[in-house]
Amino acid sequence: VAVPLGSTFASLATTWFWLQAILIALMFIATFIDFDEQMIPDQVTVPGTIIALIAAAVWPLSRLPISTPGRGFGFIDFGSPNPLAGWHLGFVGLATCLAILAVWIWGLLPKIVPSRDFKLGIAGSTKIMLASILRCPRKNDCEIRVEKRRMFGMTKLYLLLLVVGAALLLGFWGTLGDPQKDSLVSAFIGLGVAGGLIWGIRIVGGLALGQQAMGFGDVTLMCMIGAFLGWQASIAGFVYSIMFALVLAIILFVITRKSYLAFGPYLCMGALLALIRWPTVWAGFEPIFWMGPLLLAFFGGSLVLMAVLLPLIRWLKESTLGPEE
């Protein structure tokens, strides 16, 4: 992609500014809510993710700029720094976007997940989970007056979002040009990879430690960041966030002997640092990004290793320092 000149470049710079200003403002809000309330509301991350997806389809040149050997200056996509193979321009690309949209909405739905009650089995756990989403009317009358069971308003809203989003993708996919499809698929894959990474850590950490290792607000926050910045910048930001959190966790433990901290603010700090230092970040992380899909196998192996090491670390900590107060 050639470097835009003149008024086109000015328009592009304006688009960059406003989109990144929106992302920074949303991360700023999420940071202080997480510090104060120990949670990140969907009212912050869901609209942000929607804005990022719409912007990706409408302004494909709003993606982060990159420079790669042999390809010159361009804009980041889900294959960068590898060239795109073109599979995403047809049905496979559309199906990928629809699948990621469906999984994202599924994660947002209010529900009960009895993951630690293994006596229920897969069928029993699934039945309880679906019942908690649908909230069907009670079959038996009771003398005690209780509120009628109805589907939550947020559930209806998210299901409507799924229907509208799927309809828009199906209706307009054929009218999008290749740059728009490149950008939109990149945003969806950024959402899926970044959010999936934190979701995987949340699940594995919770099972290994027997307690909630990370709130789902961190997952939705990373989905938003991934949709805005792409999976490459999100992974770099995640690496930075670990460094920030590790330093603060050590200081907090020395002072209060408590190891729990809200991770959302550090995800925001890491993403902001990756955004501000993007040319340097791209130059430093580019050899890793060349791995492409092999990184998914690396992440999977890391989660397995985490599942093995976390219980051991917890046992060593309690054996040497005693249980946390």
What integer pLDDT is reported at residue 228 of this predicted model? 96
Quick one: average pLDDT of 143-165? 84
107, 191 contact by CB (below 8 A): no
Strand partners, 68: 72
263: Cβ contacts below 8 Å, ≥ 6 apart? 214, 215, 218, 241, 245
153, 100 contact by CB (below 8 A): no
The answer, yes or no, to whether residue 5 has pLDDT greater than 60, is no
Give dist(CA 159, CA 108) in Å, integer.
10
**pLDDT above 70 covers what percent of the chain?**
82
133, 109 contact by CB (below 8 A): yes
Give dist(CA 74, CA 80) in Å, integer.
10
Closest to 287 (Cα-Cα) out of 80, 146, 87, 109: 80
SS3 247: helix
Q: What is the pLDDT of residues 228-278, one digit of tens each?
A: 999 999 999 999 998 888 888 788 767 766 666 778 899 999 999 999 999
The answer, yes or no, to whether residue 322 has pLDDT greater than 70, is no
Q: What size, in residues, is the chain?
A: 325
Give dist(CA 77, CA 80) in Å, integer.
5
173, 189 contact by CB (below 8 A): no
SS3 66: strand
145: Cα within 13 Å, side-chain hemisphere = 0
Check the CA dihedral 185-186-191-195 and report its sign. positive
What integer pLDDT is reported at residue 252 of this predicted model? 74
Two structure tokens written together for 80 = 């960068």
Distances (CA, A) of 153 to 52, 110, 113, 149, 160: 24, 10, 19, 12, 11
Q: What is the pLDDT of residues 113-134, one digit of tens each?
A: 776 555 666 777 778 888 888 8
pTM of the shown model = 0.87
Q: Which helix (H) or strand (E) holds 108?
A: helix 91-108
Two structure tokens written together for 125 = 């756990």
Per DSSP, the residues of 172-219 read HGGG--HHHHHHHHHHHHHHHHHHHHHHHHHHHHHHHHTS--S-HHHH
**Average model confidence (pLDDT) for the chain?**
84
